[in-house]
Homo-oligomer: A and B are copies of this chain.
Amino acid sequence: MASVHSSNEDLDTKEMDDSQGGPYIHKVGVPPKQKLFKEFTNTVKETFFSDDPLRSFKHQPKSRKLVLGMQAIFPILEWGRNYNLSKFRGDLIAGLTIASLCIPQDIGYAKLANLAPQYGLYSSFVPPLIYAVMGSSRDIAIGPVAVVSLLLGTLLRNEIDYTTNPEDYLRLAFTATFFAGITQATLGILRLGFLIDFLSHAAIVGFMGGAAITIALQQLKGFLGIKKFTKKTDIISVLTSVFDSAHHGWNWQTIVIGASFLTFLIVAKYIGKKNKKFFWVPAIAPLISVVLSTFFVYITRADKQGVEIVRHIEKGINPSSVKQIFFTGDYVAKGFKIGVVAGMIALTEAIAIGRTFAAMKDYQLDGNKEMVAMGTMNIFGSFTSCYVATGSFSRSAVNYMAGCQTAVSNIIMSIVVFLTLQFITPLFKYTPNAILAAIIISAVINLIDFQAAILIWKIDKFDFVACMGAFFGVIFASVEIGLLIAVSISFAKILLQVTRPRTALLGKIPSTTVYRNIQQYPEATKVPGVMIVRVDSAIYFSNSNYIKERILRWLADEEEQLKAAYLPNIEFLIVEMSPVTDIDTSGIHALEELHRSLQKRDIQLVLANPGPVVINKLHASHVANLIGEDRIFLTVAEAVSSCSPKLVEEA
């Protein structure tokens, strides 16, 4: 049988004649042995410096390196040099827009953390300024966010009751913020940023959705004007609390105000969604609601009818809180624990936002550098009466749509918050709590991502379980339980991946020399007397035993079938090693045992295409000799062609 090929290019048409073995067989390459030290530094580099952060420092004079170093720590030095008026116009508009959005949100979010309203505003003043100097995202809007506020509030409340001991509660909040910053900065400096990747996308979607619903449910207190409200956050406790107070505890004036403005906010949101040109409508709607409702309550004195109002916001900018942080005593460990959790979640949110917008505008974002910036900003925040700040989903989106160019929009927002704190806070006295509830509800609705959940269901059922686990965990138990479920399921998936890798039987695709999974290509044919198995993972201690036994099971199944059909027995077992990127001592032992098992059944083990690391280790362990150097081939096709002539002779 012969086939003739013709082509005008040399690139891709020459093919090997692999039908006979002999001179045409290609040897499996053994890469030049690396020095131990070089191997080690390469591994370290790939693990911790995979983004090659020192790339731009190469071949530069010392003074230039200093400048680049400063620019790396303070990116503002880099982009600030090209800053101009047209960019400032974009940043000014974006900054004013997110400021109008953040002021009412901040006041509401502070409540989620069980803190007085001014702490929300404080956290929108100092952290954005520091981020603007150190951060490298151009679109992120910094400040308190709903989920982290809720999480922080829940964790803090578990330790201290804020009604009986508000002072220690506040001190613990600053302590947690301090340690959140330390955690974030440390992760960045040690280049351990990849640790946040262990919370899978699916788990985050579920966690966020659950947190959004929990937060919305919490708002029923302010929205319905209920005075006695449960302190638990699970849906059953909250709904019981709501319906128990239905007859006497609801305040109809509050409900009217809340409902009408919630309708207004949702309509504004809808308009903004329908026409991207009107993005500013939902962005300023909250501030308009606050102004209108405050004015309305002031005129009608509805607060005398039982409509709860804000009452008091401390005037003036952030006081120092350095002395309030616990550096000794029992609360240090508690603050540390809370800080680590809150800091990690805050990071996860911020990095996800940063990456999303960086991808949209196509610029690179150094995750580890971002973490250092976030950490520094929270450490300084904890010194200036702020609680954990991070990037906000909703405000970052508005920032982006309003045409922000650089982190200057954060500075603008910060200035507006500064002016608010200095001059306007007394005017918030008559703002009804129902409005804040409505604003928070309309803000967190966005966190429920149905589309993403549907897509997850379509793509990966296991991911969907993780997503739903986190979702229901948050709703029916608490944010911590939900988080724990999310992390556990994510880890379970990783463990499953490393303990139960896939293996596949290969067959030859007709009229090619290509061997592929016979499940995917039903037309692929098996080679008589030869079984070809592909192992789809590095062979490590966690799976070496499984892989060995799985291959032997493929063999047993196959032999059973062949026996039933009176076909010739298997004489060669070819293991396609292309996907086996690495093998460790346990893996080597498994191969050895496989070889011995097969020998007892008169089956020859043949390896195809071991990678550079694997072939080195096969040689180092003398397993290559055991199996036979001439039993290791470049491709499955070559391996098959070396096996089948014999079969033909013997037949």
Cβ of A520 and Cβ of B14 under 8 Å apart?
no
Given contacts A19-B9, A498-B497, A511-B16, contact A520 B612 (CB under 8 A): yes
**2-20 of chain A: CB within 8 A of chain B:** 2-20
A641 vs B15: C-alpha distance when bound (angstroms): 13
Segment from A60-68, A151-159, A180-188, A193-201 that makes contact with B: A193-201
Cβ of A7 and Cβ of B20 under 8 Å apart?
yes
Tell me which residues across on chain B come within 8 A of A463, comparing CB atoms: 584-585
Q: Contact check: which of B18, B197, B579 meets A545 at CB < 8 Å?
A: B197
Cβ of A509 and Cβ of B26 under 8 Å apart?
yes
Which of A15, A536, A578 has the most CB atoms of chain B within a 10 A radius of its CB? Answer: A15
Cβ of B5 and Cβ of A19 under 8 Å apart?
yes
A43 vs B198: C-alpha distance when bound (angstroms): 22
A502 within 8 A of B: yes
Q: Residue on B with the closest CB to A527?
A: B11
A362 within 8 A of B: yes
Q: Residue on B with the closest CB to A196?
A: B545
Q: Contact check: which of B462, B541, B593 meets A200 at CB < 8 Å?
A: B541
Tell me which residues across on chain B come within 8 A of A7, comparing CB atoms: 1, 19-20
A202 vs B461: C-alpha distance when bound (angstroms): 35
A458 within 8 A of B: yes
A409 within 8 A of B: no
A472 within 8 A of B: no
**444-465 of chain A: CB within 8 A of chain B:** 452, 455-456, 458-463
Cβ of B12 and Cβ of A18 under 8 Å apart?
yes
Task: Mark each residue of chain A from 295 to 333: 1 if its CB lies under 8 Å from any CB of chain B, else 0.
Answer: 000000000000000000000000000000000000000
Q: In the complex, what's the smallest C-beta–C-beta distance from A314 to chain B, in angstroms?
A: 42
A550 within 8 A of B: yes
Cβ of B586 and Cβ of A513 under 8 Å apart?
no
Cβ of B50 and Cβ of A581 under 8 Å apart?
no
Task: Mark each residue of chain A from 485 to 514: 1 if its CB lies under 8 Å from any CB of chain B, else 0.
Answer: 000001001111111111010001111111
Q: Contact check: which of B549, B597, B641 meets A50 at CB < 8 Å?
A: B549
Given contacts A14-B3, A459-B620, A520-B615, contact A584 B202 (CB under 8 A): yes
A494 vs B491: C-alpha distance when bound (angstroms): 11
Segment from A72-80, A127-135, A255-263, A632-640 that makes contact with B: A632-640
A648 within 8 A of B: yes
Task: Mark each residue of chain A from 618 to 638: 1 if its CB lies under 8 Å from any CB of chain B, else 0.
Answer: 001100000000000011010
Task: Mark each residue of chain A from 14 to 51: 1 if its CB lies under 8 Å from any CB of chain B, else 0.
Answer: 11111110000010011100001001100100110011
A582 within 8 A of B: yes
Given contacts A585-B460, A600-B362, contact A516 B29 (CB under 8 A): yes
Q: Residue on B with the closest CB to A543?
A: B197
A540 within 8 A of B: yes
Q: In the complex, what's the smallest C-beta–C-beta distance from A278 to chain B, in angstroms?
A: 26
Q: Contact check: which of B512, B546, B585 meets A26 at CB < 8 Å?
A: B512
Given contacts A512-B16, A612-B520, contact A597 B359 (CB under 8 A): yes
A559 vs B455: C-alpha distance when bound (angstroms): 35
Task: Mark each residue of chain A from 545 to 585: 1 if its CB lies under 8 Å from any CB of chain B, else 0.
Answer: 11001100100000000000000000000000011011011
Q: How many copies of this chain are found per oligomer?
A: 2
Cβ of B19 and Cβ of A541 under 8 Å apart?
no
Cβ of A201 and Cβ of B542 under 8 Å apart?
no
Cβ of A201 and Cβ of B586 under 8 Å apart?
yes
What is the interface residue range for chain A against chain B?
35 or more
A194 vs B540: C-alpha distance when bound (angstroms): 13
Q: Residue on B with the closest CB to A28?
A: B520
Cβ of B635 and Cβ of A12 under 8 Å apart?
no
Q: In the complex, what's the smallest C-beta–C-beta distance from A270 to chain B, in angstroms?
A: 26
Tell me which residues across on chain B come within 8 A of A18, comparing CB atoms: 12-13
Q: Contact check: which of B29, B43, B517, B540 meets A611 at CB < 8 Å?
A: B517
Tell me which residues across on chain B come within 8 A of A3, comparing CB atoms: 4-5, 13-15, 17
Q: In the complex, what's the smallest C-beta–C-beta distance from A463 to chain B, in angstroms?
A: 5
Given contacts A542-B197, A582-B502, A620-B459, contact A19 B10 (CB under 8 A): no
Tell me which residues across on chain B come within 8 A of A51, comparing CB atoms: 549, 553
Q: Contact check: which of B26, B47, B542 meets A500 at CB < 8 Å?
A: B47
Q: In the complex, what's the smallest C-beta–C-beta distance from A320 to chain B, in angstroms?
A: 38
Cβ of B26 and Cβ of A588 under 8 Å apart?
no
Tell me which residues across on chain B come within 8 A of A19, comparing CB atoms: 5-7, 9, 12-13
Tell me which residues across on chain B come within 8 A of A16, comparing CB atoms: 511-514
A252 within 8 A of B: no
Cβ of B458 and Cβ of A621 under 8 Å apart?
yes
A495 vs B540: C-alpha distance when bound (angstroms): 12
Tell me which residues across on chain B come within 8 A of A544, comparing CB atoms: 197
Q: In the complex, what's the smallest C-beta–C-beta distance from A524 to chain B, in angstroms?
A: 8
Which of A12, A355, A359, A452 has the most CB atoms of chain B within a 10 A radius of its CB? Answer: A12
Cβ of A1 and Cβ of B12 under 8 Å apart?
no
Cβ of A14 and Cβ of B500 under 8 Å apart?
no
Cβ of B540 and Cβ of A585 under 8 Å apart?
no
A511 vs B536: C-alpha distance when bound (angstroms): 28
Q: In the complex, what's the smallest C-beta–C-beta distance from A561 to chain B, in angstroms?
A: 14
A423 within 8 A of B: no
Tell me which residues across on chain B come within 8 A of A208, comparing CB atoms: none
Cβ of B494 and Cβ of A494 under 8 Å apart?
yes
Q: In the complex, what's the smallest C-beta–C-beta distance from A610 to chain B, in angstroms?
A: 9
A52 within 8 A of B: yes
Q: In the complex, what's the smallest C-beta–C-beta distance from A35 to chain B, in angstroms?
A: 12
Cβ of B541 and Cβ of A490 under 8 Å apart?
yes
A617 within 8 A of B: yes
In the A-B complex, list the 6 residue pairs whose CB atoms are closest, starting with the nearest. A579-B579, A200-B541, A7-B19, A520-B612, A536-B581, A16-B512
List, sorted by A's number, 9 A–B pairs whose CB atoms are closer than 8 Å: A2-B4, A3-B13, A8-B648, A15-B511, A15-B513, A200-B585, A456-B585, A504-B611, A509-B634
